[in-house]
Amino acid sequence: MTFTEKCNTIFRQSVEDYHKTDDVDAAMPNPYAEGSIEYDLYKKNWIDVVQWHLEDIIRDPNIDPVAALALKRRIDHSNQDRTDLVERIDTYFYEQFHSVKPLADARINTESPAWAVDRLSILHVKIYHMQEQVNRKDVSEEQHSKCVEKLNVLREQLGDMTTSITELLDDYAAGRRVMKVYRQMKMYNDPNLNPVLYKKA
């Protein structure tokens, strides 16, 4: 099993586990050993699927404004957790490949491998929920057909992403690409870098 196939298996498991309760406040039932890459992959997808539902909830036109603000703060925190976790997964990749001697014509990729894995994780969440839409019986034939078309595109993307990430990791291992990691360095959550926050301190 390739690393990407492992990702697909774990992401599907996480999405299915979440929907056993379909509750954004449910405890994460991560079955993998804490500190393992499998644990981080499962947690990564769990964050994504919970945030998917938080984004649905906050778009309720009748939501109480106070509740909406609290939910927005929760989504912001979730985004930071997601970024931190992606960077931890990139550290795993860096440890795997940093000692590989690059070939003379080795290239640099436009994104780090963990951010590609991030997109793969979110793709699994999209596929699950688009399948839900395809299964609905209370929609027009036109809407059903559009959802089937979208689901087919998402599944094609899944195959392409699986292949491209696997090829990227193979390139790192063979020295055809240089393993580099750039941290996000987000400023708005940092009280020392966000002027709205540090000017009030």
Q: Which pLDDT does position 191 carry in this prediction?
A: 80
Token digits of residue 78 = 């979730």
Q: For 28-32, 36-40, 51-55, 197-201, which range has the lowest pLDDT when averaged over its residues?
A: 197-201
Cα angle vertex 21, ends 161, 78, to 5°? 55
Per-residue pLDDT, 151 = 98
Confidence grade of residue 192 (pLDDT, cut at 50, 70, 90):
confident
Place of tokens 């981080």: 40
Instruction: Report, as an integer, the average pLDDT of 96-112.
Output: 94
pLDDT(17) > 90: yes
Statement: residue 190 has pLDDT above 90: no
pLDDT at 187: 78
Q: Which pLDDT score, from 0 to 100, does residue 54 have? A: 98
Query: What are the beta bridge partners of residue 177?
Result: 107
pTM score of the predicted model: 0.93
Residue 183's pLDDT is 75
Please, what is the angle between helix 3-18 and helix 37-58, to 10°? 40
Helix (H, G, I), strand (E, B), or coil: what is residue 178?
A: strand
Helix (H, G, I), strand (E, B) or coil at 91: helix
SS3 20: coil
Provide the residue ranges of all domains of the chain, joining segments of one domain with +.
3-193
Confidence at 9, pLDDT banded by 50, 70, 90? very high
Give the dihedral of Cα atoms 9, 10, 13, 17; nearest 10 deg.
-170
Q: How many CB atoms lie within 10 A of CB 30?
A: 19
Q: What digits encode the pLDDT tens for the residues 146-173? A: 999 999 999 999 999 999 999 999 999 9
Element (H, E) at 156: helix 141-174
Return d(Cα 48, Cα 89) in angstroms, integer.
15
Given a cut of 80, whether residue 184 has pLDDT beyond it is no
Would you place residue 186 in the very low, low, confident or very high pLDDT band (cuts 50, 70, 90)? confident
CA end-to-end distance (rounded Å), the chain: 52
> With pLDDT > 90 as the criterion, what percentage of the chain qualifies?
87
